[in-house]
A and B are shown apart, each in its own frame.
Chain A
């Protein structure tokens, strides 16, 4: 039985604020230094002796867990879909971090794309390509890591595929949502081999599942 430390990967940014209370109810509580904005450390202890926390970019959460460098993590389903890693399980829908992935175009822009070919600026080239493939359209993706909203107005690409939660960013940049691709929530993810060879990982999954169920029941009765 492997008794090395478990590593729990969490994403930087907005999702983390929603995830921390959920993790706390599931018994994963980081040390005080984790909440200190000035702290530059990337690896943190938790109240559990055999569990440490790492804070990385959302896409890297999936990569760390898929490779087994971290056994368990929390990440949006957009990241899971984009990588489509074969060694990643997403056994619990945490029902937090709701948003969706959508195609957006300039409000007043004319469509410069042909019927069988589109040019799209996105952080999600795989999802985008698959989405357009299903419609029989070849998508040429320009991979950007942020500020996709600039692409249409500067002529980089006619449309963008990006996360939308309130729609405010799109509006402020003169864009309008034209197609909804995917609804997104945060998922608990685990490494396949870790789940099968380490009973502690299965226990954590069970704890998170019960927590999510309890929350769903609370919501239903409220």
Chain B
């Protein structure tokens, strides 16, 4: 009998065999692609001190993490909601003496205590890579290409990358379009919503052209270039052009210079990955600073659960039924050849109902 005790909490779900197999394959494919690009895998723990998760990068908040007191140390622990700060910690501590640039990758589950308005999911599989020691244009290009390679390996088609300049308002507010702190916050908020009317209302008229500088890459970049910011944007525009050239036609490229959603700690460059008909982003990445050592880094994260609906259904697999009293050695040999086997427990089983496609008879696999 099902009681309400058997319900899973909101935003948490079981992955049943079909989804589980797809997720597992996708994770392996992504990890292999990152490995092939020279990234070493690390596996940090699920739980850490809240402080170490929260202070590694600017703008990170531990509010959305599951937190509790550690009975051993009496300090607050938190369940990770993002693996990137953990990689930052590893780079700043255990691997601080390694030669830079340091390339690390990871795959693991992350959780958050509260879902957001649009996405109820509270546990996700995060896969990503971090290039530590550089936030140059070359590093950014490599990371974008590695992210695309990982998604291609997973089997996602019609990729699209959206470039952004996360610290744009901070840069402009300190230079050509001065704003005080309070105004800058209001301008950021209106730019987040691309609210032209709201932006005028808070005195951010100078920032209006930035809303219009969003869209397909070459055109949007021309519009950004037309924003006269006294040279403050030149190096950034040049950087974006080089990264776009590196991507070539492997993905559709768009630019949205004021996009900040999901870019809490990124510095000059950020990107969001989209694909085909997917309603949400598959992942994002960018340049940032690891606090503590103040080391620059570039990285990306993808959430494979988001990609699942985009993947083709798995081909049905063959499975060999091993009747009672079968030849054990012969079966082991067939498994060695790649067969998947299912051994009988009793006489009255229906091999077809159990999902078998073949039956072992005198050392041969006979189709059922």
Chain A residues engaging chain B, CB cutoff 8 angstroms: 1-2, 4, 66-68, 77, 80, 83, 85-93, 183, 185, 187, 191-193, 195-197, 199, 202, 209
Contacts and interface: CB of A to CB of B under 8 A. Distances in A.
Contact of B193 (A2, A4, A80, A209): A80
Interface in B103-144: 116-118
A91 B196 contact: yes
Interface string B190-218: 00111111101100000000011011100
A4 B276 CA distance: 11
B360 to A, nearest CB: 47
A93 B199 CA distance: 10
B216 A202 contact: yes
Interface string B48-86: 000000000000000000000000000000000000000
A177 B211 CA distance: 35
B118 A93 contact: no
Interface of B: 116-118, 158, 160, 162, 192-198, 200-201, 211-212, 214-216, 252, 254, 256, 261, 272, 274, 276-281
B163 to A, nearest CB: 10
Given A193-B280, A196-B274, A199-B216, A92 B117 contact: no
B242 to A, nearest CB: 21
Contacts of B281: 193
Listed residue (B196, B272, B274, B280) with the most chain A CB atoms within 10 angstroms of its CB: B196
B261 to A, nearest CB: 6
Q: Is the interface of A mostly helix, strand, loop or mixed?
A: mixed
Nearest to B280: A193
A91 B211 contact: yes
A193 B274 contact: yes
A88 B279 contact: no
Contacts of B194: 89-91
11 contacts: A86-B117, A89-B193, A89-B195, A90-B196, A90-B198, A91-B194, A92-B196, A191-B279, A197-B252, A197-B276, A199-B216
Nearest to A92: B196
A83 B117 contact: yes
A1 B279 contact: no
